[in-house]
Structure 1
Amino acid sequence: MTSKPTLSIGLIGSGFMGKAHVFGFATAQKVFNLPANLKLHTLADIDKKTAEAAANEFGFANSTDDWRDIVQNSEIDIVDITAPNALHKEMALEAISAGKHVYCEKPLAPMISDAMEMADAAEKKSVKTQVGFNYLCNPMMRLAKEMIASGELGEIRSYRGIHAEDYMTNASDPFTFRHETAGGGALADLGSHALATAEFLLGEIVEVMGDCVNVIAERPCIDGKKKSVIVDDIGRAFLRFSNGATGYIEGNWVATGRKMQHDFEIHGSEG
């Protein structure tokens, strides 16, 4: 019996998404027959105390307060980036340059030019990459795509998609990195999921008309002072796909009562 190779993982960031990724790594090996074993090698975070505490909690063998230690470590195969959005590009490009495979949370980067630079670098270096569009891994998505491709729904005429949450509903909740102009806002944070699903199911989007709305104009900071919020709390867009279908998507983090709502509707001539 041939033994499986081992892939060592370096995780940057131990916040909500860092925890979610670790849960996935730990669970996948117990549920699926993976082609490789996964080793939680090193966790990096903002300071040594935070990194060490998270590494102990999550089961990583090592910790560091410098993410470059992960990139430069020859024992690490995969760099998993769950840091704030504005930091993705620098971290990913250095990891790619070092020959690491990269799993990066969405949105990939604040600007399309940055995202293209990251994608081009990965292609030139021939490393594997993945963006955190976890909903696309749901078997339901592939079934829906197959139904569309087979013609079961007939000619696709319209599409509606939404990703909604309520974790920003309270105006007294503090200003966070998600409210920074570089990579912040509901459109980037949640609308990226809705957009990924729309393109996965119906293909290329060729025209867009968008509207971004700020509902809570300021939030408190740790020091008690108020800070203006410029980014959107709700992002909406009307879409036209290359196949002629039209549609609408929304990213909303002030949708009271909604938790992880990721819905879509597709209407064709036959269903």
Structure 2
Amino acid sequence: MTFVQKFAVDDREFAGKRVLVTGGTKGAGEAIVRRLSAAGAMVATTARSATEACQPKLFMRADISTLAGVEKVAAGVMEQLGGVDIIVHNVGGSKSPGGGFAGLSEQAWQDELDLNLLAAVRLDRLLVPHMIEQGSGVIVHMSSIQRRLPLHESTIAYAAAKAALSTYSKALSKELGPKGIRVNTVAPGWIHTTASEAMVKRLASHSGSDEATARQGIMDALGGIPIGRPAWPQEVAELVAFLVSDRASAIHGAEYVIDGGTIPTV
């Protein structure tokens, strides 16, 4: 499976815009960095490490699940960019073990909250005041459909943290809208990344089946994906690019699901 670009990119749309994308060296984050950079933005990103495939021009190595990491990134943004016009909080993930609620320790809960909720809260607290001073800005928080469809066996803490992030984002939008700052949330479902494909390969090897069968098994566990496939990172990036653009200037306090129809309800 390969992604085919079907749309043109205006290479001047974000000219002069200063952007921070967290978790921007892999998956959807990398795609967002590439998409906004291609449209003329000056993009800084952060992650625990860069990758051979993605070496951003403005990269800050930091663990933003910690307060020290967040402070390092905020200081780096102000030093390198002199401020920020667009923030995309993409960082997130789960390392919790299986076993349901009883399998989650105190530390596991704290780790999930630090990465999936508090990283965004802390970074906003440091950078949003500068947006307020300039009277403009756009923020996108990356949530997940698991805030509505939690997988109880393994992702309770992750789902709860993402649900809290969506609620926080809505509250923030009410406060910042009158100050010229738009805030929205994107909730992806299964995204076709190198990590997800590695998982498909592991499942196929473990079950003795082929990758197509393993991929279908994941979709069945999700209750099915009506379009028949996960989203590509570039498709998530295109949605984010629209939301942070002037084309979406009246979209505020909203959450956009990109899951191929996985969520079965209105």
For normalisation by structure 2, the TM-score amounts to 0.42
Answer 1 or 2: higher relative contact order, Cα 8 Å, separation at least 6: 2
Return the structure number with greater strand share: 1
Rg comparison, structure with higher value: 1
For normalisation by structure 1, the TM-score amounts to 0.42
Return the structure number with greater helix share: 2
